[in-house]
């Protein structure tokens, strides 16, 4: 079939419009010491904006296991996806985000390692956050002490809410944080980053460094580590902007 110049132009316009179409799928990835319910304040706001939302339940047993959990959810999506992560989840989406369905990445006080990078060594270039001293290990897994969880991890949440989160915290494999990615999706996918300026779990200066390195559209929130719970409207808005491809 012969394509006329007019037909070619129309096809190009159609393709451009398709590429500019807003994304309607969002997949959320939680971090260590948490589970998928940590996104519960964000989810209804995204749904109210017309987005289809799925929150992954990471096993926290290995990077490969967490990536596989995300990949299973991505396979169920019917089109392009915004892949958003909190904390440790940033490592997971940096690997899983290479999936062709992933159109944008959102990092919330999150790790964003480069391929093969020793993230522990990178983080060691910045002052250690207080929560790092509260890790308690037993039977090959670790969790935060109650004091560290309430004071550092959930620092700006009401005490009752923080205690409930402590009761259901996700225990992590001892080897989890030593994992290294083999890819860094942020090299090829547009990224957004929410820095928590009062974070006692991940150093805010480390967050700023990561956001700048990945070229992310960045917002700063006067928040502790769990900004997705203490500032859900702002986090939801950032994800919506990513879905719309806005700065």
pLDDT in tens, the chain (247 residues): 333 333 333 333 333 433 456 799 999 999 999 999 999 999 999 999 999 999 999 999 999 999 999 999 999 999 999 999 999 999 999 999 999 999 999 999 999 999 999 999 999 999 999 998 999 999 999 999 999 999 999 999 999 999 999 999 999 999 999 999 999 999 999 999 999 999 999 999 999 999 999 999 999 999 999 999 999 999 999 999 999 997 6
**pLDDT at residue 246 in the model:** 77
Q: Is residue 189 part of a domain?
A: yes
**Long-range pairs for 67-71 at CB < 8 Å and ≥24 separation?**
67/92, 67/95, 67/96, 70/27, 70/29, 70/96, 71/96, 71/99
Q: What is the distance, to the nearest Å, from the Cα of residue 247 to the centroid of all Cα atoms in its chain?
A: 18
Q: Is residue 146 part of a domain?
A: no
Q: Is residue 50 part of a domain?
A: yes
Of residues 80, 134, 137, the one with CA closest to residue 103: 80
Q: What is the pLDDT of residues 101-141, one digit of tens each?
A: 999 999 999 999 999 999 999 999 999 999 989 999 999 99
Q: Is residue 111 part of a domain?
A: yes
Entry pTM: 0.91
Domain containing residue 40: CATH number: 3.40.50.1820
How many other C-beta atoms lie within 10 A of the C-beta of residue 98? Answer: 18
**pLDDT at residue 1 in the model:** 34
For the chain, the domain total comes to 1
Q: Is residue 158 part of a domain?
A: no
| Mean pLDDT across the chain | 92
Q: Is residue 174 part of a domain?
A: no
Is residue 58 classed exposed, middle or buried when 0-12, 13-18 and 19+ CB atoms within 10 A define those classes? buried
**pLDDT at residue 18 in the model:** 37
Q: Is residue 57 part of a domain?
A: yes
Domain range for residue 89? Answer: 22-128+179-244
Q: Is residue 13 part of a domain?
A: no
**pLDDT at residue 228 in the model:** 98
**pLDDT at residue 132 in the model:** 87
The answer for residues whose C-beta is within 8 angstroms of residue 26's C-beta and 6 or more apart is 46, 51, 52, 53, 54, 81, 82, 84, 239, 243
**pLDDT at residue 17 in the model:** 35
Backbone angles phi, psi at 91, to 5 degrees: -65, -40
């Amino acid at each position: 079939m012969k394509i006329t110049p007019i037909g070619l132009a129309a096809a190009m316009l159609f393709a451009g419009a398709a590429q500019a179409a807003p994304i309607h799928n969002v997949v959320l990835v939680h971090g260590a010491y948490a589970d998928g319910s940590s996104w519960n304040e964000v989810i209804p706001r995204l749904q109210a904006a017309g987005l289809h939302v799925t929150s992954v339940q990471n096993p926290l047993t290995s990077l490969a296991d967490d990536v596989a959990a995300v990949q299973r959810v991505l396979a169920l999506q019917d089109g392009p996806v915004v892949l958003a992560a909190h904390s440790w989840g940033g490592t997971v989406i940096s690997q899983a985000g290479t999936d062709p369905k992933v159109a944008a990445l959102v990092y919330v006080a999150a790790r964003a390692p480069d391929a093969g990078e020793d993230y522990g060594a990178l983080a060691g270039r910045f002052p250690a956050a207080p929560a790092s001293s509260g890790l308690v290990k037993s039977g090959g897994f670790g969790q935060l002490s109650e004091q560290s969880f309430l004071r550092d991890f959930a620092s700006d949440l009401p005490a009752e809410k923080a205690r409930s989160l402590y009761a259901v915290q996700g225990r992590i494999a001892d080897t989890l944080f030593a994992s290294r990615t083999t890819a860094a999706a942020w090299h090829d996918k547009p990224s957004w980053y929410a820095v928590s300026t009062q974070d006692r779990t991940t150093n805010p200066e480390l967050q700023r460094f990561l956001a700048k390195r990945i070229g992310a559209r960045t917002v700063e929130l006067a928040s502790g580590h769990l900004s997705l719970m203490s500032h859900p409207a702002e986090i939801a808005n950032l994800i919506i902007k990513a879905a719309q491809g806005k700065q």
